[in-house]
Every structure is written in structure tokens, then in C-alpha cells.
Chain A
Amino acid sequence: GAVVSQHPSWVICKSGTSVKIECRSLDFQATTMFWYRQFPKQSLMLMATSNEGSKATYEQGVEKDKFLINHASLTLSTLTVTSAHPEDSSFYICSALAPTDTQYFGPGTRLTVL
């Protein structure tokens, strides 16, 4: 089946620093990728839709200047959390839309901001 990877799987950073998370579709091309956030014991909340070669579309309430998304190729989207603060600590999950119109999810990245 289709595989989506994320890197890193876990990152710890100091408050005020920036963190980049990568999402790759390994065996298919994805013109559209999505970024979700999941708090402990809660469901996934869509943050933004990432389209290759164009600007990301952010959901209401998500700060686009804080969560920078770049979809530079058909297999890679990146999420950069800028000037991270402890409240940004969360589990970030990406998904990639396969040509079959099915979304395949990455394993997630756990961000801890000290």
C-alpha cells in the first residue's frame, strides 16, 4: 500500500526556536497534502491543505505566519513551526492524497516545546 513518512518522529526544542517537520509520499505523487494536529486523547484537527506549487490553505483559527507550509515537490511537504512556545506542543500528522483519492497518513511527529 501507499506509504507516507514523517521526519522527525519526535522533536524537543526550546521556546522561541523554529522546528521543521517533513512529510513525504514514498511511492506515489501527491499534489495535495494535509496537516493535522492532535492533542492527547483527542481527535485530529485539520490545520491546512498544502497544494504543490501554490500557497497553502489554512483553516480558520490557524496562524499562517506561525505554521509555515511549503509543498515544493510532488512528494514533499514541510511544516515549520516558527517561534515555538509550549502551547504548540502537540502531535502533528500529515496525510497525502493518492491518485485513488484516498488519503494516506504519516506516523506523526511529536513536538515538545520546553
Chain B
Amino acid sequence: AQSVTQLDSHVSVSEGTPVLLRCNYSSSYSPSLFWYVQHPNKGLQLLLKYTSAATLVKGINGFEAEFKKSETSFHLTKPSAHMSDAAEYFCVVIGSNSGYALNFGKGTSLLVTP
């Protein structure tokens, strides 16, 4: 089965500084990877997805992620954090080669301080 590991359960950054949320994946084939964000009391929102096209994927709200096969990583970055970015972030992989069911990482809680 395909899986992802989010390396940090909590990340704290100051407003205006870069954001890095780390995710490693395990897959026996070329994976489809996603980053979702969950704000309190709101539904999960897709930030971006990688499906074996360009390795650098640009998403919404200034986020982007780079697929690095040699490092089995799919880290999420943003050049400058905003207060509204504070939320829970999930790295996600499609669980099998035959379907669309998603396997979620444990999540990284991003705190943005003034």
C-alpha cells in the first residue's frame, strides 16, 4: 500500500517568513500526491496535486510543492506566511493503483505568529 509520512506534527513560523511542511512518501509505483488544508470547522480544501506531470506543482494561495523521486519527498512550501495560513495540513497519496481512495498523513499543524 502507498503511504505518506509527515515529518513534523507542529510547525511554527512568523508572519512573512517562509513555510516548509515536510512529507515523504512510500510507493511501489509513480504516486499521485496531494496536499490538503483543513481550517477549524471547515472542510478539507485541496491545495495542489501531483500526477506525474511537472515535478514542481503550484497550488492555491501561493503554495507549491516539489516532487523529488530521488528523495521520495513532496514537501510543501510558501515564500511568505500569512496569518490566515494557520491550519492543519495533510499530505495525501492515492492508496492503490486500482482506485482513488486516499491515504492521509497524520497532519502538520501550522502556527503563524505575528
Contacts and interface: CB of A to CB of B under 8 A. Distances in A.
B107 interface: yes
Given A42-B106, A43-B105, A103 B90 contact: no
Contacts, number: 45
Contacts of A92: none
A34 B104 CA distance: 13
Interface residues of A, number: 21
Question: Looking at chain B, what size class is its interface with the partner chain?
Answer: 10 to 19
A43 B90 contact: yes
Interface stretch (A13-21, A68-76, A82-90, A105-113): A105-113
Interface string B82-98: 00000000100001000
A34 B101 contact: yes
Contacts of A4: 43
A37 to B, nearest CB: 11
Interface in B59-109: 90, 95, 99-107
B43 A44 contact: no
B100 A97 contact: yes
Nearest to A94: B43
Closest 4 pairs (CB-CB, A-B): A105-B44, A107-B43, A43-B104, A44-B104
Given A34-B102, A102-B46, 17 more contacts: A42-B106, A42-B107, A43-B105, A44-B90, A46-B95, A46-B102, A46-B103, A49-B99, A49-B101, A95-B44, A103-B46, A105-B36, A106-B43, A107-B41, A107-B42, A107-B43, A108-B43
